[in-house]
Copies of this chain bind each other. A is one copy, B any other.
Amino acid sequence: MTITLYDLAGMEAERRFSPFCWRAKMALAHKGLAVDTVPWRFTEKEKLPQPNAGRVPVIVDGERVVHDSTAIADYLEEHYPDRPSLYGGTVGRALARFIQNWTETVLQPGLIRLVLLDIYRHIGPADQAYFREDREKRFGMTLEAFVGDREARLPQFRASLDPLRRTVERQNFVSGEAPLYADFIVFGAFQWGRAISDFDVLAADDPVRTWRGRMLDLFDGLARRAPAYGS
């Protein structure tokens, strides 16, 4: 049975830019599960199936509704044990949590200082009004000010990728010879960036860029085929 995924979309329905939804899409593809995605916008909270937390991803698998990307990955791992593992065992699952926490406390906060305004440019008028008000309140400044020094911030952002860079210099994927959920977590952040921004966050010769290219090739180019900027 096909799983339904509610997936954050821009003004163009095919432009999908949530890092958390990309985690879920890569995980579903890794498990080889068929999925129908439903484009969903920030201001369509009433359109989500219950239960939800007002955010995506949310999946519907038959009778079951699961929300939150981590809960979705755990659900898929538990309910589809005959499919390829997302974690490679309990230790792999535990260590992936460190990489998730690095992604959410270092990588994503760094990226948002570079691309926040580009999100605004890719969403419709109703979403724009919501997004500007919500994010300007959260960050205590205008969207324009929030990313205004992004050229100056870029060297520091790139330096913050050192743990990732050194890892993928020495092995093909974060998870080793083959990609697993830890790779999907990190990749989701980069795919979010490239889905809505032409700002080149990675230098041309960065090993992180080479790894990102390997990720874009997975699953017949699932992420590469999606509307996005750059290589």
Interface of A toward B, CB cutoff 8 Å: 87-99, 101-102, 104-106, 162-164, 166-167, 170-171, 173-177, 180, 182
| Residue on B nearest A169 in the bound complex, by CB | B101
- Partner among B104, B106, B164, B174 whose Cβ is within 8 Å of the Cβ of A95: B174
Chain B residue contacts of A166, Cβ below 8 A: 101, 104-105
Q: Are A97 and B162 in contact (CB under 8 A)?
A: no
- Partner among B92, B99, B105, B177 whose Cβ is within 8 Å of the Cβ of A92: B92
Apart from A87-B91, A98-B174, A105-B166: 19 A-B pairs, beta carbons within 8 A? A88-B91, A91-B92, A91-B95, A92-B92, A93-B176, A94-B174, A94-B177, A95-B95, A95-B98, A95-B174, A95-B175, A95-B182, A97-B171, A98-B102, A98-B163, A98-B164, A101-B162, A101-B164, A104-B166
Count chain B CB atoms within 10 A of each CB in A89, A94, A96, A175 and give the residue with the most: A94
- Partner among B88, B163, B167 whose Cβ is within 8 Å of the Cβ of A106: B163
Chain B residue contacts of A170, Cβ below 8 A: 97
Copies of this chain, whole number: 2
Count chain B CB atoms within 10 A of each CB in A104, A164, A175 and give the residue with the most: A175
Closest 6 CB pairs of A and B: A88-B91, A94-B176, A95-B95, A91-B92, A105-B162, A102-B163
Chain B residue contacts of A97, Cβ below 8 A: 167, 170-171
Chain B residue contacts of A175, Cβ below 8 A: 91, 94-95
Given contacts A98-B99, A106-B162, A162-B101, contact A91 B180 (CB under 8 A): yes
